Chain A
Amino acid sequence: TQLLEQSPQFLSIQEGENLTVYCNSSSVFSSLQWYRQEPGEGPVLLVTVVTGGEVKKLKRLTFQFGDARKDSSLHITAAQPGDTGLYLCAGYLGKAGGTSYGKLTFGQGTILTVHP
């Protein structure tokens, strides 16, 4: 059972379209991070959200953390070919001790392709 369910798994759109990627869980997270990864490279941190209901904007990207801190979304406005890549959400449960201590739990990822 995947702790963090990310959807959709694949997204193929035309330049200029809008899109939303979702990250859902039944667990409450202390924080949630969004990354973008290019093939053969490491994930690049886009944003960290820590407060329920928080909304952060990064140019055309809008990130939202659910009120209950169990879900998050990434919305891209007017997508461009340069947005193409693998988008990953990662949650931190924040429990001291136990198997969750220190680690980020990743969703399966969303492969986004933006066609010119």
Chain B
Amino acid sequence: EAGVTQSPTHLIKTRGQQATLRCSPISGHTSVYWYQQALGLGLQFLLWYDEGEERNRGNFPPRFSGRQFPNYSSELNVNALELEDSALYLCASGLWVSYNEQFFGPGTRLTVL
């Protein structure tokens, strides 16, 4: 069974540009979660999508946004990139059940110059 896939693996942008990151969940999973893992800060929750709807978002500015498509894949958009947005962006998928087990993809390494 294929796991969560993310693209691109690496992304290099300059300050002020926009970045788009993509995620395909495990087949059968309807929920997609996005996390940011910046150096020294641990994993921080960004967004949760389920059945095409945004269900919750973390404490991040509105320039972090995304969507979930009918096939449950998702994309994360980061506008007006800042240097501190450089991080590993992780996508996870799962079935929305009471214990909320989440399976992670390999991540996209975003570098903002």
Contact = CB atoms under 8 A, between A and B. Distances in A.
A interface: dominant SS: loop
B72 interface: no
Contacts of A48: 99, 101
Interface in B33-53: 33, 42-43, 45, 48, 50
A116 interface: no
A62 B113 CA distance: 43
Task: Name B's interface SS.
Answer: strand
A30 B42 contact: no
Contact of A103 (B33, B90, B96): B33
A28 interface: no
Interface of A: 30-31, 33, 35, 40-45, 48, 50, 88, 90, 92, 94, 99, 101-109
